[in-house]
């Protein structure tokens, strides 16, 4: 059975994303940091790792892309997790008992309106799942936690309120990274991720992107990140529809290689289903 590494405590949203992609029986390996995910895969302690790369509200996870650039692991799949925040408390605690709520700062911010309307004090914690684990181990009067449903299940906490996030479009995109390329299935929609740099001349970026327009390839993401080794120079992280084995994508990549100063192929992989407008995942195929 495969082992999938993730960052955080058991019950983290990354582990929830693993279960969404692989099923509930998969083995998981918690890691302290994103770097530890890569080391676990590179040393074969884990078969693959899952890495958050983008949130629909907070934007890109910059450190994840830096690590993808530094290490030679391939992106083998993407997972889009609809983030549902749960209000968790030890058994027997009622909503009327709650005075304060603990969680990671980002989770607290995403539930700010819900907490403010009830007059509850937000308490910062280092991790969503960690706040649930600590509350289960050391119950505090009047205290609840915000975390995933999985965290509540793992640590024996009850769900007092479901889906307490202020925005119903909060989703996180993850990459599954591992050794080698994903298996190509021409019947499944594909995406490709690359990183490239351009020379410091007029229209350099324009000419690099032009090869994708020439081959009618849709770009789904383009973002610049500063090079840590060179001041005021940038990497460009790009996703586009299609697989590197498709002739039009192969031709576009060949054109990019002749026009960019550096290109790194991150991977071609099955595209995750798009979220519906109401923020819910489409039904699973039968």
Q: Regarding beta strands 121-124 and 59-60, do their DSSP bridges make them parallel or antiparallel, or are they unpaired?
A: unpaired
- Smallest CA-to-CA distance from 38 within 48, 26, 30 is with 48
Say how far apart CA 280 and CA 168 lie, in whole Å.
8
Q: How far is CA 187 from CA 26, 95, 208, 216, 271, in A?
A: 26, 49, 28, 19, 12
Bridge partners, residue 145, by sequence: 88, 102
Q: What are phi and psi of 56, to 5 degrees?
A: -65, -20
Bridge partners, residue 237, by sequence: 195, 223
Q: What are phi and psi of 187, to 5 degrees?
A: -85, -5
Measured between its terminal Cα atoms, the distance across the chain in Å is 24
- Smallest CA-to-CA distance from 175 within 228, 239, 244 is with 239
Say how far apart CA 23 and CA 93 lie, in whole Å.
31
Locate the DSSP E strands across the chain: 3-7, 27-31, 48-55, 59-60, 74-82, 86-89, 100-103, 121-124, 143-147, 158-161, 171-178, 190-197, 219-226, 234-241, 262-270
Say how far apart CA 226 and CA 246 lie, in whole Å.
31
Both structure tokens of 217: 């390839």
Residues forming the active site: 172, 174
């Amino acid at each position: 059975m495969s082992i999938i590494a993730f960052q955080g405590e058991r019950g983290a949203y990354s582990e929830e994303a693993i279960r969404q992609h692989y099923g509930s029986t998969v083995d998981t390996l918690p890691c302290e940091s994103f770097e530890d995910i890569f080391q676990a895969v590179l040393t074969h302690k884990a078969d693959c790792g899952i890495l958050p790369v983008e949130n629909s509200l907070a934007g890109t996870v910059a450190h994840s892309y830096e690590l993808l650039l530094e290490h030679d692991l391939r992106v083998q799949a993407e997972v889009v997790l609809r983030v549902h925040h749960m209000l968790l408390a030890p058994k027997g605690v009622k909503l009327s008992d709650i005075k304060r709520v603990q969680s990671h700062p980002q989770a607290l911010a995403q539930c700010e309106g819900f907490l403010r309307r009830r007059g509850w004090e937000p308490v910062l914690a280092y991790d969503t799942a960690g706040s649930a684990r600590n509350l289960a181990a050391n119950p505090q009067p009047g205290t609840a936690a915000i975390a995933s449903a999985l965290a509540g299940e793992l640590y024996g906490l009850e769900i007092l309120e479901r889906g307490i996030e202020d925005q119903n479009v909060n989703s996180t995109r993850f990459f599954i990274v591992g050794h080698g390329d994903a298996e190509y299935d021409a019947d499944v929609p594909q995406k490709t991720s690359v990183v490239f740099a351009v020379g410091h001349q007029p229209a350099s970026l324009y000419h690099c992107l032009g090869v994708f327009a020439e081959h009618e390839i849709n770009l789904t993401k383009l973002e610049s990140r500063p090079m840590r080794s060179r001041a005021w120079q940038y990497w460009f992280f790009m996703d586009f529809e299609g697989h590197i084995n498709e002739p039009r994508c192969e031709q576009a990549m060949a054109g990019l290689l002749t026009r960019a100063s550096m290109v790194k192929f991150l991977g071609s992989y099955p595209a995750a289903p798009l979220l519906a407008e109401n923020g819910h995942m489409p039904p699973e195929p039968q």
